A and B are shown apart, each in its own frame.
Chain A
Amino acid sequence: MWHDALLVARKDLRIEARSRVALWQVVPFAVLVLVLLAFAVGPGVAPLRHAAPGIFWIAVLFSTVLTVQRSVAIESGEGTRDGLRLSGIDPGGIFLGKAAAVGLQLLVLQIVLWAGMTVLFDVRVHVVWLAIAATVAATVGLACAGVLYGALSAGLRVRETLLPILVLPVLAPVLLAGSKAWQAALSSHAGSGAQWLRILIPFAVIYLVVGTVFYGPLQEAA
């Protein structure tokens, strides 16, 4: 399964590297969300700093929807899904591979967003381990839940409108816990910030397990 996952992840990442949709569409979109929300909250530095974690995760959430839609679109070509199913690759492996590819793209996106926030909002991370732990756990959760819901909407003509309705409520706990953990990471001490990892880590584990188990039936239904 792990070997299959690696194969699928490499395939998806190679397609992204060639098409550069993530680079030229998703990343600019995320930065645009960052700037637009800054317009709504700013222009003072103090309110921007206060709202920075929430703005960051809102931008990541919206970008997750776009990245997942792109990940689904890769498989929506004529006979692509059937080809993948006929290849004998383990469905759990396909899920893990697609989630890994989406997760990796999201991590790169978050680095870009973080750089943008440092410049635009003048914020600094003080508790580095907490920011990294929260980001990694949240990204795994976002990628797994996103790919699972992407599979639910795959093959439907209305998937562009259906996916946000399905996935955004599910991702709301990540927005909440990620923002709170980042709020603590931006302050001078971790405080109770680490307790939000108790939401992010189980969320990631639940969707990782559920996705690995149920991706097969969903693939057959697509």
Chain B
Amino acid sequence: MMAVATVSRPRWLSVVGLLGVVAVAGTVWLGLWITPPDVTQGNLARLLYIHPPLATVALYWAGSVAAAGSLLYLWPRTRSLFWDRLAAAAVEVGAVFSALTLITGSLWGRPAWGAWWTWDARLTSTALLLLLELGYLALRRVPADVAVRARRCAVAALLVAVDVPIVHFSVDWWQTLHQTGTVLDPGFHLHVHGSMAWTLLLGFIAFSLIFVWLLGVRYRIEVLQDMVGDQELEVSLVERWSEGTELAGVGSAGRGRPGGETP
């Protein structure tokens, strides 16, 4: 059987993944056991060590990588499948983080607001972002020539990115139940202090590292998928030919014996 070419996993990616897992474990440890309960929210505030970092990754990191990758693909001078694959990986990882943002927000909202869900501008625009990302992924999975798919997806990703500033400014444009910037206000004044601030900072670092790791892993899968797509036909043909040769061998062996019957 013909060997399928593969892409080695870079060492730095494994290191980033390991650091990310350790940092997440550190955030959980600090968030659950070291930091004190909040004065007003009590233990409920501990969920906020992961919710804003998840939202930051979903919105800003994934959004900017997807938009930048797509723009660079569409720009003729920088057109390369690297940018297309990077953008696709960012949207897929972004969709996971958007879903996690909505889930953690909903878990916090039930005891804090008394409802799992409310038609608030920030929540609605984030849900819309997830739906747009799922639409992009559906488009991505439609079989097409690699260059054609890349161009379609680049435009689709830019249209997804239109929602990112809407989610960001939704709390300022409309009177929402969701609070405005809590960690940093528009004047960049910090509103969280002490061990709580350090835990939150570690949360941001942890989920950013996890994002980079997942982005790298997903990018590698994109490359492998394209390689498999290219080699699939070739491998199938080689297998078919080898079957034909074997059959011919059996046939000629059968013809060698009178009647072709096995004893």
Residues of A near any B CB (own CB < 8 A): 148-149, 152-153, 156, 158, 162, 165-166, 169-170, 172-173, 206, 210, 214, 217-218, 220-222
Judge whether B151 and A162 touch: CB under 8 Å.
Answer: no
B: interface residue count bin: 20 to 34
Task: Indicate if B132 sits at the interface (CB-CB under 8 A).
Answer: yes
Judge whether B134 and A220 touch: CB under 8 Å.
Answer: no
- A165-B134, A169-B135 known; A158 vs B142 contact (CB < 8 Å): yes
Give the residue of A148, A166, A173, A222 whose beta carbon is less than 8 angstroms from that of B135.
A166
Judge whether B158 and A214 touch: CB under 8 Å.
Answer: yes
17 additional A-B residue pairs with CB within 8 Å, beyond A218-B151, A221-B148:
A148-B155, A148-B159, A149-B159, A152-B139, A152-B152, A162-B139, A162-B142, A165-B134, A165-B135, A166-B139, A169-B132, A214-B74, A217-B154, A217-B155, A220-B151, A221-B149, A221-B151
Task: Indicate if B224 sits at the interface (CB-CB under 8 A).
Answer: no
Q: How far is the CB of A146 from chain B (nearest CB, A)?
A: 12
Interface residues of B in 102-132 (CB under 8 A from A): 128, 131-132
Q: Which residue in chain A gives the minimum CB-CB distance to B151?
A: A221
Q: How far is the CB of A142 from chain B (nearest CB, A)?
A: 15
Residues of B near any A CB (own CB < 8 A): 74, 128, 131-132, 134-135, 138-139, 142, 144, 147-149, 151-152, 154-156, 158-159, 162, 166
Q: Is the interface of A mostly helix, strand, loop or mixed?
A: helix
Judge whether A172 and B128 touch: CB under 8 Å.
Answer: yes
Q: Which residue in chain A gives the minimum CB-CB distance to B121?
A: A176
Bound complex: CA of A165 vs CA of B139, how far in Å? 9
Bound complex: CA of A182 vs CA of B258, how far in Å? 91
Please, could you name 20 A-B residue pairs with CB atoms under 8 Å apart, sorted by A?
A148-B159, A149-B159, A152-B139, A152-B155, A153-B139, A162-B139, A162-B142, A165-B138, A166-B135, A166-B138, A166-B139, A170-B132, A172-B128, A210-B159, A217-B74, A217-B151, A218-B151, A218-B155, A221-B147, A221-B148
